[in-house]
Amino acid sequence: MDEHHDHAIALSIAQAVEADAELIAALIREDEQARRDHEFAMQLEEDSDATPETDDDGDHVGLDDETYHTLHAFNVAVQPSENTEVEMELSDEEDHDDMSFGEEDETECGSNPDEDFEGDADDQSDCTASQEDFSYMDEDEIQAEETQPDETQTEDAEKTNEERDADEHPGTADQFPKDEVYDAPCSHGMCQPCLIRSIQTAMKDESIFPPKCCGQAIPVDNTNAFITEDLLTEYDNKREEFETTKRTYCSDKACSAFIPTRLIEDGIARCTRCEKRTCLNCLSEAHEGTCTDDPESQRVIRLAEEKGWRRCEQCKNMVELDHGCFHISCRCSYQFCYRCDEKWKTCDCPQWDEEQLMARRAAIAAAAAAPAPAPAAAQRQYHPCRHQGYVRTNALFNYEAEDQAVLSPNDEVAQSKPKTSLGGKKNIVFILTDDQDAVLDSVSYMPKLKEHIIDKGTSFVNHFTTTAICCPSRVALWTGKQPHNTNVTDVNPPYGGFPKFVSQGLNENYLPVWLKEAGYNTYYTGKLFNAHTTNNYNSPYPAGWTGTNFLLDPGTYDYLNPIYQHNQEPPVQHKGVHTSDLISKYAHELLKEAMDSPNPFFVAIAPVAPHSNVNLRRQPGNPSAPLMTIPIPLERHSHLFEGVKIPRTENFNPDSPSGVSWIHKLAQLNDSSVSYLDDFYRARLQALQGVDEIVEQVIKQLEDAGILDETYIIYSSDNGYHLGQHRLPPGKECGFDEDIRVPLFIRGPGVSSGSIENAVTTHIDLAPTILKLAGADLRSDFDGTPIPVLPTQENKRHEHVAVEYWGGAIAEGEIGGFDGKGQIFAQNNTYKGVRIVHEDYNLYYSAWCSNEHELYDLKTDPGQLNNLFPHDDAKASAVLLGTTTGQVLNRLDALMLVLKSCKGNTCIEPWNILHPEGGVTSLKDALQTKFNAFYKEQVKVRFDRCEYGYLIDAEGPQVGYEYREGLEWHHWT
């Protein structure tokens, strides 16, 4: 690929391409005319054997290489028709063989050092790369493969451009007999190939479903004469899936087929593809009895029995009778008797318990007799008073009817109190930036963040994201699950984005939904997920939020032309208005709304800074202008930080290449590129000043309302960022610390001020942490565990982070990409990683889908420049952690084998899988010499092939051996 493969905006780019249609059409006409002129000139030559020149790549006749590759990189197929109009649609081809980058595996064919890290070569695997797969070939092999003609190529070379076009596309609509052309609702004619392609494309992406022509839906049911019965059946099935609000998918990850509601009976969903059954309650494989097998459900049931709660027979929710009669009207509308659980009123129970009512009356009277005095400051600031047309009942003005009843003195005191939290629940504000680094020192340029949050709270200096790219990281954060368990592994369909989030059933099963169930009001403003667009924002609407103001594609990263969408109202584009000022305004409004309610609240504020600016509406006449450019700060901040440069660490533009795969092939950056990177760095710092102002605004708003000390404030970023480290152009997606280590600061009631916490924490720990701060029950299926926010909380934690990534890497900015010639997409960036931080060691180990490996000791090599992975016996025997590098690698690889497919508590305590008898909870424990043979013979991590998403059959071995004390090797196996 010669241009972008930025999945983050692949769907949205269609609008930009459409805007350039006139330009592309002009290019096609010019190219065609030039070809005709050339043919005519050749005919005039005396050489009768001369033939007209043709394009090397007949697939994009009429487009210059730069424009064609830009469109193709975004999976946009551009087909010039005879009348020079350009039809654009998402490509229906999902096979990426034509996009091989040409990485060279560092191992020779026939050898595989990862089978035994100590240098043995007993089990060498064969190379599996086919001739068509260039991923394992060097450049000479690729060139030879590409230039070696076959009979088909020879025949094709002799064809004219018109003949090639006819082979690829039989003709335009006006070239077909009338009875072979489908009349679309917009009166355009569509030939059968175009109609079928349009239907197939729409079925692959919910955001463009149903298929349309000129914005009008095509009634596929009326196209029987043009499409096969199988395609119509497939379309009907897909329509049923997209029209189902609460969807169920097969619990078998290898299947994951949609199960329509007509196949669901008695809480069991039957999959017709694999014939397996799925429990509708727990979404796992169907089981006998009620769905109460998980420990968390059992704990709730036991608590209900102790408290005397009742369970609604219809919706299974727990109900507690605080006061009143026994007639219960559940929120599902089912009515039953609290005393005997029978349907109301089919029992002989009394209406109420008179003793209970008397006790309740006594409690109310006792509470009213001696009300607690309100603090003097609160009385002054929050006193209720009557004015013309409104009554002031708190720090903000509530406009009410003038004839409202006058408050009694006790009522006045109750309403004048600053809102703490009902039932001990605290308020929570989460500020989440986009692509903010922790390693490159961006936080040091945010004085308000330091003053109000860092100095007043705790800094978690070993906090990591599990996947260094936006959407998978955010989904992991809001669900508390590893990306391999959410199956949202990219920023765009088919493997990621908001449509994938919905199709995986996560829209009803993430943090805001759980917080609402715990009694919280929930609010969100800013970027939620990628591929959350003006077309799909309401299909369905993101669940769980009391109030929202979302940023939407294609305006998410357009700093000066953002598109926001409030609650379920239509989206609005704000031309010429800076996105940071808008999100500041919306954050203030949502926080005001939250404070007006008596309920505790959770408010998430997600600005896009300091992400690159992405302009999806490039100007006609300049189609090659970069889509991703330097972030645009607010005008009032654009003069700041003159002369500031990227920290010149040892891994910044190093003299020698580092890393593996495509990273190892990067050329050293020249002086102009380095200067550009410094400009980019300053722009990022300037863009973050808008975020810094939001931090101060939130603090002041909470302080003015008297609830700052009752509110937890969390500050973090979805992933990190690199700028010149390892010779990399601007971007993320790598496993280096610049990309996976992110800021995390927390302040709030009981949190230590100005302290530093060294515990290893990850994004999948944040959802459990927030639920714990909210006083809500934790979920048994969390892959993460609560962070020790308070000094009183237990601080014994694991030392590992499971890192994973699928798909390509993207070069942002304008410095020439990965090859200095505009190559901004690198293939084969799929890898697994394990990051381990302990007071005695600090390691990173990775295995790539090309089966290349990395091992870095960050205690001696913080820049991750010296790859310790052994390619020979000498390296395997080198000393590391008091033993050999090979012995350490055997342990790390076994740990990765568990983590790469872990679920729930296995992700938290993976060593228990390897040592079920206990005694091993860390790498240090596992390095005991008595385990050497066990780890040497353990199943090794490897990939069977590179994929762009989580396809388990490409991921190699999934299960290893368990260690049993005193057994011989044949007993383990």
Active site residues: 470
Cβ atoms of residues 789 and 773 within 8 Å? yes
Alpha carbons within 13 A on the beta-carbon side of 902: 30
Residue 759 structure tokens: 């515990």
Cβ atoms of residues 224 and 922 within 8 Å? no
How many angstroms separate the Cα of 193 from the Cα of each of 25, 214, 228, 249?
21, 18, 12, 31
Residue 787 structure tokens: 């962070």
Cβ atoms of residues 23 and 63 within 8 Å? no
Phi and psi of 141, rounded to 5°? -65, -40
Phi and psi of 378, rounded to 5°? -65, -35
Give the three-class secondary structure for 883.
strand
Q: What share of the chain is helix, strand, coil (3-state, %, to 5)?
A: 35, 15, 50
Cβ atoms of residues 181 and 214 within 8 Å? no
What is d(CA 471, CA 483) in angstroms, rounded to the nearest whole number? 10
Cβ atoms of residues 938 and 890 within 8 Å? yes
Give the three-class secondary structure for 689.
helix
Cβ atoms of residues 574 and 551 within 8 Å? no
DSSP state for residue 496 in the 8-state scheme: B
Helices 579-596 and 671-704, axial angle in degrees (round to 10): 20
Alpha carbons within 13 A on the beta-carbon side of 164: 21
What is d(CA 813, CA 435) in angstroms, rounded to the nearest whole number? 14
What is d(CA 450, CA 444) in angstroms, rounded to the nearest whole number? 8
Residues contacting 927, CB < 8 A, separation 6+: 881, 882, 883, 887, 888, 891
Residues contacting 468, CB < 8 A, separation 6+: 719, 720, 732, 733, 734, 735, 739, 740, 803, 805
DSSP state for residue 62 in the 8-state scheme: T
Give the three-class secondary structure for 662.
helix
HEC string of 515-558 equals HHHCCCEEEEEEECCCCCECCCCCCCCCCCCCEEEEECECCCCC
What is d(CA 167, CA 159) in angstroms, rounded to the nearest whole number? 10
Query: Which residue, among 828, 868, 826, has the nearest Cα to 850 in the 3D structure?
Result: 828
What is d(CA 114, CA 231) in angstroms, rounded to the nearest whole number? 45
CA-CA-CA-CA torsion sign (435, 440, 442, 444)? positive
Bridge partners of residue 268, in order along the sequence: 265, 279
What is d(CA 697, CA 706) in angstroms, rounded to the nearest whole number? 14
Residue type, position 742, single letter: V
